[in-house]
């Protein structure tokens, strides 16, 4: 088994976020994090794969099917003439303040990330090999008509829809990011062909701040020990199997690790070895899609641990 890594063209599309006071704060969603993750994946035996000739066109079509036209028009054309960015609360997730600006480089970066997710899903569906869409910006906080939390287009759902177009009846989505993928949840609710499970912090101090219970949602109020975290991942996978998942899309968030500036847990990078082993035990075609993970010192080791089990 070979783990194929698809990487979009590098972008500097997220230079800052905006706090409630209006202050601009340097973003932690930076190109350097992808460099470290890629190094770890290659250390673990993964190989790089190129975009396909029609990846961008297919991604644009699928993004148009996943998200509302008004949102996509805003991402394409929302920055006023003479400005470098815009912060528009009309496209905030329900109940949240907008803190993620749209800059001039956002649309090509978001579309490029979606194209990498498309290509990774194609490789998995057609060749039976695992794949990893090493994308930025991430996507699991992007909902039908909103963006936020560094996310503009939902790459995991785009990957799942690609798998379905390639013949997978039910594509399960497993989210192991520190934060609940509220955008993914909203996009798949009511669709039995896209079962969803998430292991995440349900501390009300953590984004997206409000957490309603539901099937497949395995929230943790406090810092879990490794064995507890892995037990929840196993429970989440069991839920997806009960729902008939024939392939997996895994939203990977390394922000569950100790020292991450957007998390508060103390898991070691090596935890992603047994996480990947649990996923491999399902013997299902798997597409990994990058979400969070902003603690630079931990990223290479975590990615290597995952790749060693997924390759």
Q: In the annotation, is 141 catalytic?
A: yes
Q: Is 28 helix (H, G, I), strand (E, B) or coil?
A: coil
> Would you say how long the chain is, in residues?
311
What CA–CA distance (Å, rounded) separates 209 from 289?
23
Identify the sign of the CA torsion 273, 276, 282, 285.
negative
The CB density around residue 268, as the number of other CB atoms within 10 Å, is: 14
**Do residues 285 and 121 lie in contact, with contact meaning Cβ atoms separated by under 8 Å?**
no
Cβ–Cβ under 8 Å, residues 66 and 154:
yes
Distance of alpha carbon 160 from alpha carbon 58, whole angstroms: 13
Strands 4-6 and 131-133: parallel
Task: Name the active-site residue from 141, 179, 239, 262.
Answer: 141
Q: Are strands 286-290 and 131-133 parallel, antiparallel or unpaired?
A: parallel
Instruction: Please state, in angstroms and rounded to a whole number, the distance separating the CA atoms of residues 293 and 175.
Output: 13
105 burial (CB, 10 Å; 0-12 / 13-18 / 19+) is middle
Catalytic residue positions, numbered:
141
């Amino acid at each position: 088994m070979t783990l194929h890594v698809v990487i979009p063209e590098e972008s500097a599309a997220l230079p800052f976020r905006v706090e409630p006071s209006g202050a601009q704060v340097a973003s932690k969603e930076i190109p350097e994090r992808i460099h470290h993750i890629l190094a770890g994946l290659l250390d673990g035996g993964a190989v790089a794969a190129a975009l396909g000739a029609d990846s961008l066109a297919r991604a644009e079509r699928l993004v148009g099917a996943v998200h509302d036209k008004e949102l996509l028009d805003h991402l394409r054309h929302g920055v006023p003439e003479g400005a470098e960015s815009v912060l528009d609360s009309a496209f905030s997730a329900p109940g949240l303040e907008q803190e993620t600006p749209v800059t001039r480089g956002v649309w090509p970066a978001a579309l490029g990330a979606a194209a990498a997710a498309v290509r990774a899903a194609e490789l998995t569906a057609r060749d039976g090999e695992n794949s990893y869409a090493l994308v930025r910006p991430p996507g699991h906080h992007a909902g039908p008509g909103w963006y936020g939390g560094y996310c503009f287009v939902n790459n995991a759902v785009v990957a799942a829809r690609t798998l379905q177009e390639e013949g997978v009846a039910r594509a399960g989505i497993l989210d192991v990011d520190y934060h609940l993928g509220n955008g993914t949840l909203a996009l798949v609710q009511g669709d039995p062909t896209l079962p969803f499970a998430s292991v995440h912090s349900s501390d009300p101090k953590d984004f997206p701040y409000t957490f309603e219970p539901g099937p497949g949602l395995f929230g943790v109020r406090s810092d879990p020990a490794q064995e507890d975290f892995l037990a929840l991942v196993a429970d989440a996978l069991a839920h997806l199997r009960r729902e008939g998942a024939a392939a997996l899309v895994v939203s990977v968030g390394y922000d569950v690790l100790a020292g991450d500036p957007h998390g508060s847990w103390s898991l070691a990078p090596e935890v992603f070895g047994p996480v990947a082993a649990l996923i491999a035990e399902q013997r299902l075609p798997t597409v990994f899609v990058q979400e969070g993970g902003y603690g630079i010192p931990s990223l290479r080791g975590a990615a290597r641990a995952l790749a060693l089990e997924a390759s």
